[in-house]
Structure 1
Amino acid sequence: MIDVIIIGCGAAGLMAAITAKKSDKNLNVTILEINSSPGKKILKTGNGKCNLTNLDLSSDKYYSYSDKKDDFLNTLFNEFDEKDTLEFFESIGVCTENKDNYVYPKAMQAGVVVNALFSEALLLGVKCNFNEDVKSITKNNDNGNDKFVITTGNNSYFADKLLISTGTKAGLSKNEIHNFEINDYIKKNHKFYDLVPSLCGLNINKNGNEEFLKKVKGVRTKAKLIIVINNKKIDFTDNRNTGELQLTDYGLSGIVVFQISSVVAKHIKSEKVNVNIDFLPDLLIEEVLMSIKKFDYIEKRNITDILSAFLNVNLSMALISLYGKRINKNISVNSKNLGFGELEKIILFVKNVSLNIHSLNNYDKAQVMKGGIDIESIGKNMESKNEKNLFFAGEIIDIDGICGGYNLQFAWTSGYVAGRNIADDKD
């Protein structure tokens, strides 16, 4: 009998275990999990509702350090895509609901998903050992056969095939952080990109911006964000960088920020990264000025009243003050009769406010981590190219998606492909 050990009882690990046992019931599959229960991070997804997948699935919804990302993902999605995900969950008793391509369990509870996955695994004969903190992985030659030796704080396990689906520390508190010494084993034979927070807020350099950030704390507004790396603008063709922006005392948050945070994460360590914010993304400058010209008694209206026709009042006043600071000119929020030339300059500023990004939120505030095992070290069967019978799945791989069910879909897909190939490869 072939012994299979899976490290990590999360989305990818459970999918891999279920798929492997369905493909070959004679496999001896054991999942090792550091927590006391399965699917802990699944329970946090979709604000507890579990956004299972997205029906608008494509490789361009994902980021990676590798330029082979599209080929890698398309190969995997050809084997198991969003439609397969829906069929799979229906088969294990999870009915789904489509909300503008965002797919959730009908119960709108992540716990239903975890229970269904765990129950299916147990019904198939998968063993799940909890409170097992992996301390080391080594190789042992047993009568000419190389076996993996997985040592935890409690036991030693032997495996003919090993799947690592540990995930990362994204979204975990300091008390919840796993012992990621396992990554040391991976790094011996694989290129491994440092893990940094993604799908998270951006900390703005407060030098010169502190007063602005204090004034706008709590404001939510539609905006378009352009990332600027060393003075080179990065735009997005699918409008993922346009949406509701949340302004905070530390900087920027909200879905629109999360969607582009991976680009910032890729460059922030070694390059200057700014964000240019258009606070009036649906209007051209000419349209704004044309509207202003229609206002009655324009000469008697102060600049705050004029801007507040388009923007939140607190945001309007903060932008006026920031504009004055940037041009070294004392412009009062109550200034009147500025003239259309000055008004045009202010509107131009409002549509292109540049802020320097200091850093990203910490990992405990992130939904995923960018980085991990280089996809060029992994075959299309999810097996290591450098070490036979070692497989990978899930977030530990250098693939991170935007919000909307894409990261869970990658977990289901990579877990399925890994599980099927673990079962199919009899060597």
Structure 2
Amino acid sequence: MQRIDIGIIGGGASGLMAAVAAADSVKGRPCEIIIFEKKDRVGKKLLATGNGKCNLTNLSFSVEKPGLFYRSRNPELLASFFARFGAEDTLRQFERLGMLVTDRNGYVYPLSGQAATVLDTLRFALEERKVHIVTECRVDRAVHRGEGRNDGFYVQTPDESYFCRRLILSCGSAAGEKNADLGGYELAKGFGHTLITPLPALVQLRCAGNFWKGLAGVRTEAGILLTIEGKGKKEEYEEQGELQLTDYGISGIPVFQLSRFASAALSQGRKVKATIDFLPAFRGKDDDWQALIKKKCRDCRQRSMEVLFNGLVNKKIIQTMWKLNGLHGEDTVSSETFPAVEKVFFMLRNFEVTVTASNPFANAQVCAGGVPLTEVDSQMESRCCPGLYLAGELLDVDGRCGGYNLQWAWTSGYLAGQAAALSIKTERKKYD
């Protein structure tokens, strides 16, 4: 059995940051640190973030109002974490490790524009600090045993057993996994933690209707209002941005921002609808919109539908609206067709669809749910099991698109790694 100071289960963003922070927090006698990673290399999810460019944090974040950027059952607890290690701390940390960054309107990327730079920076730091990494290593069992000098955690892998004086769970979530792996959550439950059911977030939404194939591939600026009803209450959430239409429903950044609410509502059996405004430039300008409709109908009287609607939105959208209202492109604008024309104009600003499901974990960028924040203290230490620390997606925190989820990984990982190492330092003084 190998005896080490700190074991870290999970070599994703939070686990890698935890290892660097732990190694840097104890001077003199270094900590022996090991990372257990189930995949063939650490940080694989990092390589896919930001479309391969890695939006590693966002300077627009407000520490005082974390609820605007993150979702959690206890968002008020986030402020204290980010106050101790926030976006500016992340920039200083990576600069200290030798990485250059660039700021694009608050969105921070490595100067190289490559996510691999972020991963390599962390890997090089771990090599320099002599952190041991074991890949293709699934942890089958982890238990807490002993007291005093013998207090610690027994970690069992298929090939070896380890005794770790401190243990950090940074196992990530099932997001992005073809076969949803909930092993990290099970390890946490084994130490006495409860679990808010993990659900896909930052993910595409599937919608009812047999017309989606005709819309597939369209990208357009749009406003989206998500309406949730049932269980005696009604909720509404709104976003705007580039909408992507697929052969099964809706995608794109504004959809991702709303998806965690849809996933949660659908899991509770509630009804979810999305109302799409394909012309958000007219938002708050109803008089201008109505004037435009009157002018176009007047100018295009006895002309074709193709002429009437030409240039308003993507042609695939117009063609779908015609079909849904019994019109054809060659039909002319007349008193007979005007009721249907009015419906098309209405639908361009109020296209209502029923959301039937979110895509599965494999398509999600993050997960909603996890271990409640109330079950860890300000140092990320478990309130259920002293000496155990939790970090990253395993906890009930999911952020908006734009670098916020990685910032949570850096914050929680840094605090957990630092606290674990400092507790060992304190223990050494006690027994030396």
Do 1:307 and 1:316's aligned partners in 2 also have CA atoms closer than 8 Å? yes
Task: Specify the alignment match of 2:35 in structure 1.
Answer: 31
- Identical-pair percentage: 35
Match of 1:50 among 39, 50, 54: 54
Q: Please list, as runs of the form range in 1=range in 2, the aligned pairs for 1:13-412 lying within 5 A after superposition.
A: 13-25=15-27, 26-58=30-62, 59-66=66-73, 68-69=74-75, 71-141=76-146, 145-174=150-179, 180-188=182-190, 189-205=192-208, 209-210=209-210, 212-230=211-229, 232-236=234-238, 241-270=239-268, 271-283=270-282, 284-295=285-296, 297-322=299-324, 324=325, 330-333=326-329, 334-338=331-335, 343-412=341-410
Moved more, 21-30 or 42-51: 21-30
The CA distance in 2 between the partners of 1:93 and 1:371, in whole Å, is: 34
The alpha-carbon distance between structure 1 residues 362 and 235, as it changes in their structure 2 partners (threshold 3 A), is closer
Shift of 1:125: 2.5
Moved more, 28-37 or 333-342: 333-342
Moved more, 182-191 or 105-114: 182-191
Q: Could you tell me which amino acid in structure 1 is paired with residue 16 of structure 2?
A: L
The CA distance in 1 between the partners of 2:16 and 2:299, in whole Å, is: 67
Shift of 1:65: 4.2
1:162-193 residue CA offsets vs partner (Å, 9 max, x unmatched): 1000101212334xx65x43422312411212
Q: Could you tell me which amino acid in structure 2 is paired with residue 85 of structure 1?
A: T
1:45-73 residue CA offsets vs partner (Å, 9 max, x unmatched): 1111111111111313444341x21x221
Do 1:165 and 1:396's aligned partners in 2 also have CA atoms closer than 8 Å? yes
Moved more, 382-391 or 292-301: 292-301
The CA distance in 2 between the partners of 1:384 and 1:286, in whole Å, is: 57
Shift of 1:134: 0.4
Return the TM-score normalized by structure 1.
Answer: 0.90
The CA distance in 2 between the partners of 1:250 and 1:341, in whole Å, is: 29
Q: How many residues align?
A: 408
The CA distance in 2 between the partners of 1:182 and 1:407, in whole Å, is: 18
Do 2:4 and 2:163's aligned partners in 1 also have CA atoms closer than 8 Å? no
Q: Which runs of 4+ in 1 moved over 4 A?
A: 338-345
The CA distance in 2 between the partners of 1:404 and 1:303, in whole Å, is: 40
The alpha-carbon distance between structure 1 residues 11 and 61, as it changes in their structure 2 partners (threshold 3 A), is farther
Do 1:292 and 1:306's aligned partners in 2 also have CA atoms closer than 8 Å? no
The alpha-carbon distance between structure 1 residues 100 and 297, as it changes in their structure 2 partners (threshold 3 A), is same
Shift of 1:304: 4.1
1:368-417 residue CA offsets vs partner (Å, 9 max, x unmatched): 11111111111111111111111111111111111111111110011111
The CA distance in 2 between the partners of 1:141 and 1:406, in whole Å, is: 38
Shift of 1:235: 3.0
CA RMSD across the alignment: 2.1
Shift of 1:319: 1.6
Match of 1:417 among 394, 415, 418: 415
Shift of 1:245: 0.7
The CA distance in 1 between the partners of 2:311 and 2:286, in whole Å, is: 14
Return the TM-score normalized by structure 2.
Answer: 0.89
Do 1:302 and 1:337's aligned partners in 2 also have CA atoms closer than 8 Å? no
1:301-321 residue CA offsets vs partner (Å, 9 max, x unmatched): 333432333111220121232
Shift of 1:86: 0.8
Do 2:237 and 2:258's aligned partners in 1 also have CA atoms closer than 8 Å? no
1:343-369 residue CA offsets vs partner (Å, 9 max, x unmatched): 444322321111111111121111111
Task: Specify the alignment match of 1:327 in structure 2.
Answer: none
Moved more, 33-42 or 407-416: 33-42
